[in-house]
Structure 1
Amino acid sequence: MTKAVTLLGTGLMGVGMAHSLIRAGLDVTVWNRSPEKARPLAADGATVAPDPETAVAGADVVVTMLFDAASVAGVMTSAIGSMKPGAVWAQCATVGLDAVQALSALAAEHDVPFVDAPVLGTRQPAEEGKLIVLAGGDRSLEPAVAPVFDAIGLRTLWVGPHPGDGHRLKLAANSWVLSLTAGTAQALALTRNLGLDPQLFLDLIAGGGLDNGYAQAKGRAMLAGEFPAAFSLDGAVKDAGLIANALRAAGADDRLMTALHEQYSAAAAAGHGDSDMSAVFMAHGEKGAQ
């Protein structure tokens, strides 16, 4: 049974995942490129490692939750040789389809069992252990990773037997989340710029077939102009690019996602990259014509 878990990456999502792993009674070791983001977890019961190699050495399962493909590949290329025989690598960051294959190949080169396991959810579900884990890989690895996935997730969906299967569903899900958030921003901005109180749009859809709790929550943040990060705008830019790439590779029309990528990028370029993805509203301007 899995007892020792190493989490590489204690950023916006990783810190909540670490708390969930600790609450589940697992022996948790953490590491982060910016040490100040990992150190507070020592008071919660985690061991804070000085480097990735030390961090992974005793783990039964190594979880990567770093920002992007380059950061995961850079860290694991140096650390994977320090993993003990039989330890499983669960790759939970959203890195794109090409990167999943490259990371899976890296694992295979070192005889490390690999599960593609991106998670669906934001900061609060991560903190509460209510993420959805989208697993792709050899189902025989389930007993090894189940204690980890059960700790961080409300449920685990085994999407398919191949690395990349979890990512395929994750990119589809994120395409919907990005579209919904940007669509809400557009509707509110249009209502405002046509001279009406934008709150009227949220009131209009409330309680009906068009209503959506996510749209209401993000819409309230947009109207308040308050964007504490649950999922960062920089992360939305990254994921929109990955989704557009996946659409093109699949022979599907990428024009909508390419436009959304431009919209999120514009808001990030205006200085909101560290803010919540709902700050895409700022791409419409802080003030509209009245």
Structure 2
Amino acid sequence: MPSILAPRARRRRLIGARTISTTGSVTVHVGFVGLGAMGRGMARQLLSAGHTLTVWNRSPEPVEALVADGAGRADSPADAFACDAVVSMLADDRAVADLLLHDELLAAATAAVHVNMATVSPDLARRAAELHARHGVGYLAAPVLGRSDVAAAGRLNILAAGSTSDLDLAAPLFEAMGQRTWHLGDRPEAANVAKICTNFMLTSAIEAFSEATALAEANGIPATDLLDVVTNTVFPGPVYSGYGALIAERRYEPAGFRLALGLKDVTLALDTATASDVALPFAEVLRESLRHAIADGRADHDLAALAETARARKA
């Protein structure tokens, strides 16, 4: 059986990285690191698509659930990097750096490519790409658009950047996890910049709807009526309809996207702007709103809980 893996300098790669199933689909042995709310659904989609899966997570419960469904258990991230490809979905720069950016780990890896699907800084993406290249391991940045329910349904939009050969290797995995992959060039950090920009706009929209809801309610207009008007006229689409419904119903748990992660992403936008000599004045406003919401004990509530900060704010 021909291998999916193109030759790579000084690479010690497995020959059987790709097999063709009886249905004609491509299957890959994938290591998966990070089984949080998003990662669980993404890993399950890979398993459902017929890929061989080996999973690692700091807490054991998500691992046990996937092992019960046919995944293999990795005792360490190094075991995941002994597969043909690795997908990671970790919380932030620190988690990625602490767990995965080590010379020893990458020197021993047999994986052809590491697909980092977390929302991380452009600087981390650059450092990760350089370190992986030093050890002959491909590196792709592929952050995603979509909440945990979208991940569980395999309907994510994937923002991917890296070499064409690495993108080709990851294509069967993207097909399992997402509805569309957007190729953003050969620099991995480009995908992270695009994701940071998108999350900044998303959080801005939620803050705008939150403030508008507070104004409407103060004047006797139910949030549900405002939501009906807005989503059927000037702002149709999933952001206002989805987050607007959560705001109107004051339904913030279980969180599809936590406020604490929203603060992380807006901070990433501000840090990236500083490095790019770009001013983002509204991002400063957003960061303060997020900080107030978290100070009120809402760190683990859905991002839509920004509305409660807006409702409580007085002139």
Cα separation, 2, equivalents of 1:14 and 1:95: 15
Query: How far, CA to CA, are the matches of 2:160 and 2:202 in structure 1?
Result: 19
SS in 1 for 2:151: helix
Q: Structure 1 144/213 Cα, relative in aligned 2: closer, same or farther at 3 Å?
A: closer
Q: Aligned to 2:187, what secondary structure does the other structure show?
A: coil
Structure 2 counterpart of 1:243: 269
- 1:125 is aligned to 150
Residue number among 37, 41, 64 corresponding to 2:88 in the alignment: 64
Identity %: 33
Indicate the structure (1 or 2) with the bigger Cα radius of gyration.
Answer: 2
- Secondary structure of 1:89's match? strand
Residue 194 of structure 1, CA deviation:
3.5
CA contact (8 A) 1:192 1:288 kept: no
Runs of 4+ in 1 over 4 A off after TM superposition: 285-289
**Letter of the aligned partner of 2:259 in structure 1?**
L
In structure 2, what is the Cα distance between the partners aligned to 1:206 and 1:272? 26
1:207 correspondence with 2:232? yes
CA deviation after TM superposition for structure 1 residue 39, in Å: 1.8
Q: 2:38 aligns with which of 13, 18, 29?
A: 13
Q: CA deviation at 1:252?
A: 2.0
Q: What TM-score, normalized by structure 2, do the two folds share?
A: 0.85
Counterpart of 1:174, as a letter, is N
Distance 1:38 1:279, change over 3 A: farther
Aligned with residue 285 of structure 2, among 249, 254, 259:
259
Q: Is the 8 A contact 1:87 1:112 kept in 2?
A: yes
The residue aligned with 2:199 is 174
Separation (CA, whole Å) in 1 of partners of 2:75 and 2:301: 29
CA distance in 1, matches of 2:65, 2:314: 42
The one of 213, 229, 240 equivalent to 1:188 is: 213
Show the counterpart of 2:13.
none
Runs of 5+ unmatched residues, structure 1: none
State the distance in 2 between where 1:4 and 1:210 align. Answer: 42
CA offsets per residue over residues 207-263 of structure 1, 9 Å max, x none? Answer: 213333321221221222211211111111110100111222222221111211221
Counting matched residue pairs gives 287
Task: Give ranges in structure 2 of 5+ residues lacking alignment.
Answer: 5-17, 19-27
State the match for 1:226 in structure 2.
251
Is the counterpart of residue 24 in structure 1 residue 49 in structure 2? yes
